[in-house]
Amino acid sequence: MENYINRRNSKEVKIGNVTIGANNPIAIQSMCNTKTEDVAATVAQINALEREGCDIIRCAVPHMEAAKAFSEIKKGIHIPLVADIHFDYKLAIEAIKNGADKVRINPGNIGSQDKVHEVVEAAKAYGIPLRVGVNGGSLEKELVAKYGGTTPEALVESALKEVDALEKFDFNNIVISIKSSDVMMSIKAHELIADKTPYPLHVGITETGLVSTGSIKSAVGIGVILYEGIGDTIRVSLTGDPIYEVKAGKSILSSLGLKKSGINLVSCPTCGRTNIDLIGLAEKVQKMIDEIQYENNANIHNKNLKIAVMGCVVNGPGEARDADLGIAGGKGEGLIFKKGEIIKKVKEEELLPSFKEEFLRLL
């Protein structure tokens, strides 16, 4: 795929074993919905998200038990662990001491400048970045009054104010996020802030809703922002299993040509010419791919494969000729093809097993 995106040249920031900013790959983030202090459940979810393609994971730290759990969680995972902190600066410091690779804070809601300074000094001592998080739903009252409501300009001013609070203590290991549930507001805010700061930007649309509608809303907002070259990490925020956040994130990056790896499953829409259960077949192929990944712990998301499920044996192989492997369904039978060349003709009930054999050969 031709690259049409000229990415913003942001500052490099290292988060554990992942480097973001500049020309580094855009990282996919998610957030655990387990109780952080439940180490076994949290580790299991993080590892499942990593297998799906998550690069960085965030966990809520609402109390000291959660902050102290970071040391045990770190022993069982491989990707960077971020602490999500609100109101209590002591939780940030404890999470840092217990191995947090980054801390998400809002300097304005953790108390006095002395408390912010203590968090900064802990981050400096352990060499980790701080992510300034500004959310449209919790914007400062004075900014809401100044701008007559929550606006893109207000979000940007709030974020830069929080950055300034950290820079005053000679700290510049910073990541910024400015999020709103309003797609157009989020797009405009990112356009405004992109030229005002060198720091990497974490992009997302917050509170998007359930998986079906939230994925679409996120794809529109995050997709436009990324197309403009803005963004160094992304999170698709959904009300549901975090695994769907990672799936959606991969699809967004892949669609923009910003992620070359992974399994890109394409399938044609059904029509009156379709003589096979195309919807069911496509769902079975996707389930097969997921099962192979989890059962065999195969790093499928590190592959770069296009898989096609087509409903017509006449046009299918031609329409998906660039697919690494594909199925074209017919009446009671189907074709299996590679790069447009037919390699097998099998009965409908044999399609999936035969296809799985060929798929495994590609791994």
| pLDDT tens column, 113-123 | 889 999 999 99
Structural contact between residues 39 and 74, judged by C-beta atoms closer than 8 angstroms: no
Match 């609100």 to its residue by tokens.
86
CA distance to 269, 288, 309, per residue, from 312 (Å): 10, 21, 9
One-letter amino acid for residue 316 of the chain: G
Per-residue pLDDT at 332 exceeds 90: no
Percent of the chain predicted with pLDDT > 70: 91
pLDDT band at 298 (very low <50, low <70, confident <90, very high): low
Least confident range from 20-29, 149-158, 197-206, 329-338: namely: 329-338
What pLDDT score was predicted for residue 4? 80
pLDDT digits (tens, 9 = 90+) for 67-100: 999 999 999 999 999 999 988 999 999 999 999 9
- CATH superfamily for 13-260 is Dihydropteroate synthase-like (3.20.20.20)
- How far is 20 from 26, CA to CA, in rounded Å? 7
Structural contact between residues 199 and 150, judged by C-beta atoms closer than 8 angstroms: no
What pLDDT score was predicted for residue 360? 87
Q: 210: buried, middle or exposed (CB in 10 Å: 19+, 13-18, 0-12)? A: exposed
Per-residue pLDDT at 2 exceeds 60: no
Our CA angle for 73, 74, 79, nearest 5°, is: 115
One-letter amino acid for residue 68 of the chain: K
Which candidate, 227, 252, 197, places its Cα nearest to that of 9? 197
One-letter amino acid for residue 186 of the chain: S
Per-residue pLDDT at 38 exceeds 90: yes
- How far is 219 from 215, CA to CA, in rounded Å? 6
Domain extents in the chain: 13-260, 264-362
What pLDDT score was predicted for residue 52? 85
- How far is 185 from 350, CA to CA, in rounded Å? 51
| For range 102-113, the mean pLDDT | 82
Per-residue pLDDT at 1 exceeds 90: no
**Class of 264-362 in CATH:** alpha beta
- How far is 350 from 284, CA to CA, in rounded Å? 13
Least confident range from 124-133, 293-302, 303-312, 331-340: namely: 293-302
One-letter amino acid for residue 204 of the chain: G
What pLDDT score was predicted for residue 234? 97
Rg for the chain (alpha carbons), in Å? 23
What pLDDT score was predicted for residue 109? 76
pLDDT band at 299 (very low <50, low <70, confident <90, very high): low
Task: Pull the structure tokens for residue 71.
Answer: 């040391």
Percent of the chain predicted with pLDDT > 90: 54
- How far is 21 from 102, CA to CA, in rounded Å? 15
Task: Pull the structure tokens for residue 44.
Answer: 């299991």
What pLDDT score was predicted for residue 260? 65
pLDDT band at 339 (very low <50, low <70, confident <90, very high): confident
What pLDDT score was predicted for residue 308? 86
Containing 144, the helix (H) or strand (E) segment is helix 141-147
Structural contact between residues 344 and 327, judged by C-beta atoms closer than 8 angstroms: no
